[in-house]
Amino acid sequence: MPLDDCRIIELPKIQDQRGNLTFIEAGRHVPFEIKRVYYLYDVPGGATRAAHGHRSLHQLMIAMSGSFDVTLDDGKEKKLFHLNRSYFGLYIPPMMWRDLDNFSSGAVCMVLASDYYDENDYFRNYDNFLKAARGENS
């Protein structure tokens, strides 16, 4: 998949003096069926998370609180996204290497995923990811 397929999706934001509300609906706001939700929190200052890719998993990544950077890499080029609003989600299609860093204090990263956890879907080694992204192995 080309890096151009990665994009920020603006989620509905209902503003109210009592507090704002944002909702997410599969099939409307998320371009995949949601099968898993997980979140990262209490990330120590200076730590990097992720450093992996997925063969077939689609994800929507949201900064629920605070901010962090996501660097996506399709094997040809890289692009940095700064997430800092809970009503913006970063859509990440399959075959993207991702690195998360620059977490602010109290940051919470929520991820909506298209499938259940499957270790076989992961690329944990960047060189193996590059070979697969270039079609050098399966």
Residues designated as active site? 52
The total of other beta-carbon atoms located within 10 Å of residue 89's CB is 25
Is 80 exposed, middle or buried, given 0-12, 13-18 or 19+ CB atoms closer than 10 A? exposed
Is 21 exposed, middle or buried, given 0-12, 13-18 or 19+ CB atoms closer than 10 A? exposed
| Spatial separation of the C-alpha atoms in residues 28 and 130, rounded to whole Å | 32
Residues 6+ apart with CB under 8 A from 17: none
Long-range contacts of 17-23 (CB under 8 A, 24+ apart): 20/87, 22/86, 22/87
